[in-house]
């Protein structure tokens, strides 16, 4: 099984053009919602019904790559509850929210947006390497191309073309760090972009999240992992 664990962008792996928002809009087809409480940490684990072979998406909340390490108890709870085996893969899914809502608004004095991208990726990799050190077959699914409409969170940094440039730099550096540590990295963001650098609307279902039109791109991107799992049958 390929478990995709992270923010709401895991929803594309559910096989439906639906997403949800924490505890407020749990839909029956997504199954049961679990809440882990520990100190200041409160976040749901949302289970989707598995509709696409090999993929099992698990949403841990509206988390960012920047704070992903703080969410490790939730990630590890999900891994435990699903009884992830040594033959399974766990791909983390964080970063789009950082690009859309956070990185550009947190540029320090004498910093560029690309400096903050590197800081964010480096923090994110601490989470990924922690999972690898636990013996998990961990991989990283890079953030998709950016939203084409106004963010429901009330703000987004600059325009879609600029954010897609940020996404390209984010994924390039993230891939570099994954390659350094022999960690699989998957990314379809550039395949979602038009010639002018904007996002092709056919791949987006609600201005932000991927539609099922993107699933063939994802299946092609993950094909090597799927083949490895087929060989082990």
- pLDDT on residue 15: 84
Q: What is the pLDDT of residues 198-228, one digit of tens each?
A: 999 999 988 788 999 999 999 999 999 999 8
Contact 189, 121 (CB under 8 A): no
What lies within 8 Å, CB to CB, of 146 at 6+ separation is 96, 99, 100, 160, 163, 164, 166, 167, 199
Percent with pLDDT over 70 in the chain: 83
All structural domains of the chain: 2-231 (3.40.50.1110)
What lies within 8 Å, CB to CB, of 178 at 6+ separation is 125, 128, 139, 140, 184, 185
Q: What is the pLDDT of residues 51-96, one digit of tens each?
A: 788 998 988 877 899 999 988 988 998 898 889 998 999 999 999 9
Closest CA to 6 of 114, 111, 131: 131
Phi and psi at residue 113, in whole multiples of 5°?
A: -60, -30
Specify the pTM.
0.86
On average, the pLDDT of the chain sits at: 84
Looking up tokens 């893969």, which residue turns up?
89
Q: What is the pLDDT of residues 125-159, one digit of tens each?
A: 999 999 999 999 999 999 999 987 665 556 787 88
DSSP letter string, 127-160: HHHHHHHTT--EEEE---SPPSS--TTS--SS-H
Please classify residue 61 by burial: count the beta carbons closer than 10 Å to its beta carbon, then call 0-12 exposed, 13-18 middle and 19+ buried. Answer: buried
SS3 16: coil
Taking the C-alpha atoms of residue 224 and residue 233, their distance in angstroms, rounded to an integer, is: 15
Give the CB-side neighbour count of residue 42, counting CA atoms within 13 A. Answer: 3
Taking the C-alpha atoms of residue 226 and residue 50, their distance in angstroms, rounded to an integer, is: 16
């Amino acid at each position: 099984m390929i478990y995709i664990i992270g923010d709401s962008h895991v929803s594309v792996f559910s096989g439906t053009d639906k997403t949800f928002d924490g505890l407020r809009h749990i839909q029956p087809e997504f199954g049961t919602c679990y809440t882990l409480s520990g100190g200041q940490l409160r976040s749901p684990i949302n289970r989707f019904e598995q509709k696409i072979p090999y993929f099992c998406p698990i949403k841990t909340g509206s988390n960012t790559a920047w704070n992903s390490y703080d969410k490790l108890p939730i990630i590890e709870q999900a891994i435990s509850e699903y009884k992830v085996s040594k033959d399974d893969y766990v791909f983390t899914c964080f970063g789009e929210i950082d690009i859309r809502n956070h990185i550009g608004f947190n540029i320090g004095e004498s910093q560029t947006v690309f400096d903050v991208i590197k800081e964010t990726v480096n923090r994110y990799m601490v989470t990924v390497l922690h999972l690898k050190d636990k013996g998990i077959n961990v991989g990283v699914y890079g953030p998709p191309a950016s939203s084409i409409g106004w963010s429901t969170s009330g703000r987004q940094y600059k325009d879609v073309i600029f954010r897609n440039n940020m996404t390209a730099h984010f994924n390039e550096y993230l891939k570099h760090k994954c390659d350094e540590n022999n960690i699989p990295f998957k990314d379809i963001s550039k395949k979602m972009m038009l010639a002018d650098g904007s996002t092709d609307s056919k791949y987006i279902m609600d201005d932000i999240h991927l539609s099922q039109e993107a699933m063939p791109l994802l299946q092609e991107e993950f094909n090597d992992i799927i083949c490895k799992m087929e060989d082990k049958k």
